[in-house]
Amino acid sequence: MNTTLEKKLSQATHVVLKFGTSTLTEHIQKRSMGYFRSIAKECAWLQKQGKKVIIVSSGAVGFGRAVLHERKRIHLPQASLSEKQALASLGQSLLIDTYSTAFAKEKLAAAQILVTRTDFENKKHLQNLKATLTQLLDWGAIPIINENDAISNDEIKVGDNDNLAANIAVLFSKVFLVLLTTVDGFYKDKERVLHIDALTAELRRHAGNPSDGGTGGMVTKLQAAEKILAAGQVMSIASGKKINIVRELMAAKPKGTWVFGE
């Protein structure tokens, strides 16, 4: 077991869990609470380990699509920007309500925070964001962060939740960022990369495209990795199919792809 990794994980004061569109889609479509309750259990467990937990979650557009299909029998496989913004507006309340309901079972409070790129570029906005997060975490609440897709456009959009999660992570000095996706790590030539300690041109060539309605793919996960490496923190790209992967990662198991400097 890597002692550097063990040390970084033990010293981490915050854990940021990012759930992508592809990870949540099947649970949204089935309106299944089971997965969200499992997330709540993991958050409660992390808090018992002394960690402060932040979630960056996709899913607003997905919930919006589900509502539109259920109520109006309308299916939008290729939605325009304005349609995606409207879908996000339809679905955001359902997303946070799903988290709130699931978290209540574990006596946890879920707090919604919606951001745009402006909040990271404006110094005062960034200070306010960090202050709000700090207070919520001190209260033991779980911030659920998403881009404000209902109003975001190219001028103010962060663009994807991988970079958003990394931007949140680097607000604090000792953070473990977990990017939960539908694959079990970063692959190069059909082999899982166990550890990334630097971003090379070769690695970037093996990054793929978004899938299942997402906006990221491995390209944005490598962008997030670059920010984490620069901040001297630790990150994992891992499969979110079974949420108990978080406990295995906290134990520094050789799961997924680890990102950290020696």
Q: Is pLDDT at 156 greater than 50 in this prediction?
A: no
pLDDT digits (tens, 9 = 90+) for 159-173: 689 999 999 999 999
pLDDT digits (tens, 9 = 90+) for 110-130: 999 999 889 999 999 999 999
Alpha carbon of 188 to those of 123, 182, 194, 210, 260: distances in Å?
A: 38, 16, 10, 17, 18
Alpha carbon of 43 to those of 125, 128, 246: distances in Å?
A: 27, 24, 9
Which domains are seen in the chain, by residue range?
3-259 (3.40.1160.10)
pLDDT digits (tens, 9 = 90+) for 4-63: 999 999 999 999 999 988 899 889 888 889 999 999 999 999 999 999 999 999 989 888
CA 232 – CA 254 distance, rounded (Å): 20
pLDDT digits (tens, 9 = 90+) for 65-113: 888 888 888 877 788 888 888 998 999 999 999 999 999 999 999 999 9
**Two structure tokens written together for 257:** 């792809």
Adjacency order of strands within the sheet including 175-181: 110-115, 142-147, 52-57, 14-19, 175-181, 234-239, 257-259, 195-196
The DSSP call for residue 50 is T
**Two structure tokens written together for 53:** 């937990």
